[in-house]
């Protein structure tokens, strides 16, 4: 009798536990049979990696756009080594993507080349769209073929660009427009028609350990309300070669620009130029611990100096500049 009673109790416990778990799952529709929520499953999924093969001729704009459209935050798109040609703009329209080029550890080996421009309007090869955040771009190479528009346009906040080359644009190597907290490091921007790295209305950016050289205008611009931007350890060399800009680094209508530990040399014109076309104050800008040498103008030039307030400069080596060290123009 006791053995039969114990068996009946055990069966009742099993039935009760089964019913309780079933009821719990009914109350939690996002829980799957193994007790893991669908949200937990999604979080546990590995990021996808997609590849753009080098086709060495055909337009790859659509192919890259398809990979971007298929991707989700955390995914990686690899630009394979070889020649890639683009007739249009691929839009990075998803947040949290990584666009990475194959490389040899020193330079990119993927060559993204602008092959044509839409009649009547220029196109960039890549756009980081407005509203998109946390894009990571590294080890890519874009040659603009001296066709119109920048090689890449950044409209999305918190974009990071590393170890990449931007050259031969018909405008700027990189254009940052109304995008904030952009980090650019280990980048080379050179042989562009106007500017190497251009900033407009874009605050709290950092350009670090880069090279901008032999651009037709400025190596770097900090313009139009691009406040609290930092330029650190950048080689700004032989810029304004075609007199399309105002010097090596151009500043206009910004507060809190910091330029430090840079080498700015052999500019066709002034090394650092407060241009002040916008007729707005440049307050609290600092230029310090730079080597500013052998420029065909002043080391630091201020046009309309009354607009340059609370300016600081110290620790700079300013030698061999044909216009002198610090100049003012009314």
Residues 133-148: tens digit of each pLDDT: 999 999 999 999 999 9
What single-letter DSSP state applies at residue 307? G
pLDDT tens-digit map of 14-53: 333 443 433 433 333 333 323 333 333 344 568 999 999 9
Residue limits of CATH 2.160.20.10 in the chain:
194-330
How far are the Cα atoms of 50, 227, 254, 276, 280 from residue 199, in angstroms, in the given order?
31, 10, 11, 15, 16
pLDDT tens-digit map of 232-267: 999 999 999 999 999 999 999 999 999 999 999 999
Tokens of 318: 């300013």
Q: Using alpha carbons, select from 214, 239, 215 the residue that is nearest to residue 292.
A: 239
Span 62-74, average pLDDT: 98
Lowest mean pLDDT among 59-63, 115-119, 126-130, 273-277: 115-119
Tokens of 305: 């100096």
pLDDT tens-digit map of 93-131: 999 999 999 999 999 999 999 998 766 667 899 999 999
H or E element in which residue 173 lies: strand 172-177
Span 185-212, average pLDDT: 98
Q: Is pLDDT of 87 > 80? A: yes
Q: What is the pLDDT, as a whole number, of residue 45?
A: 66
For a pLDDT cut of 70, what percent of the chain falls above it? Answer: 85
8 Å CB contact between 253 and 223: yes
Q: What is the pLDDT, as a whole number, of residue 95?
A: 98
Q: What is the pLDDT, as a whole number, of residue 62?
A: 96
Q: What is the pLDDT, as a whole number, of residue 117?
A: 73
Q: What is the pLDDT, as a whole number, of residue 122?
A: 74
Indicate the CATH number of 194-330 among 2.160.20.10, 1.10.760.10, 1.20.1090.10, 3.40.190.10: 2.160.20.10
The secondary structure of 19-78 as a DSSP string is HHHHHHHHH-TTB-TTS-BHHHHHHHSPPPEEEE---SSSB-HHHHHHHHHH--TT-EEE
Q: Is pLDDT of 2 > 60? A: no
Q: What mean pLDDT, rounded, does the chain reach?
A: 89
């Amino acid at each position: 009798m006791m053995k039969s009673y114990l068996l009946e109790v055990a069966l009742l416990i099993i039935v009760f536990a089964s019913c309780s778990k079933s009821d719990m799952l009914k109350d939690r529709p996002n829980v799957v049979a193994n007790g893991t929520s669908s949200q937990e499953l999604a979080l546990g999924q590995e990021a996808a990696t997609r590849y753009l093969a080098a086709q060495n001729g055909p337009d790859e704009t659509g192919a890259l756009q398809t990979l971007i459209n298929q991707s989700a935050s955390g995914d990686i798109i690899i630009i394979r080594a070889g020649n890639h040609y683009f007739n249009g703009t691929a839009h990075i329209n998803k947040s949290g993507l990584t666009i990475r080029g194959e490389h040899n550890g020193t330079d990119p080996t993927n060559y993204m080349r602008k092959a044509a421009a839409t009649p009547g309007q220029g196109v960039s090869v890549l756009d980081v769209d407005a509203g998109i955040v946390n894009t990571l771009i590294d080890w890519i190479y874009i040659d603009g073929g001296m066709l119109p528009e920048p090689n890449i346009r950044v409209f999305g906040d918190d974009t990071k660009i590393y170890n990449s080359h931007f050259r031969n644009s018909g405008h700027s190597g990189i254009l940052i427009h109304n995008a904030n907290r952009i980090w650019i490091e280990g980048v080379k921007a050179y042989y562009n028609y106007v500017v190497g790295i251009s900033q407009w209305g874009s605050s709290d950016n950092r350009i670090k350990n880069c090279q901008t050289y032999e651009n037709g205008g400025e190596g770097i611009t900090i313009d139009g309300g691009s406040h609290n931007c930092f330029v650190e350890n950048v080689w700004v060399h032989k810029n304004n070669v075609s007199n399309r800009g105002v010097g090596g680094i151009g500043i206009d209508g910004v507060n809190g620009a910091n330029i430090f530990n840079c080498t700015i040399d052999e500019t066709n014109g002034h090394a650092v130029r407060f241009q002040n076309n916008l007729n707005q104050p440049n307050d609290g800008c600092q230029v310090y611990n730079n080597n500013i040498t052998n420029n065909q103008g002043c080391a630091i030039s201020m046009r309309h100096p009354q607009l340059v307030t609370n300016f600081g400069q110290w620790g700079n080596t300013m030698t061999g500049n044909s216009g002198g060290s610090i100049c003012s123009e009314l």
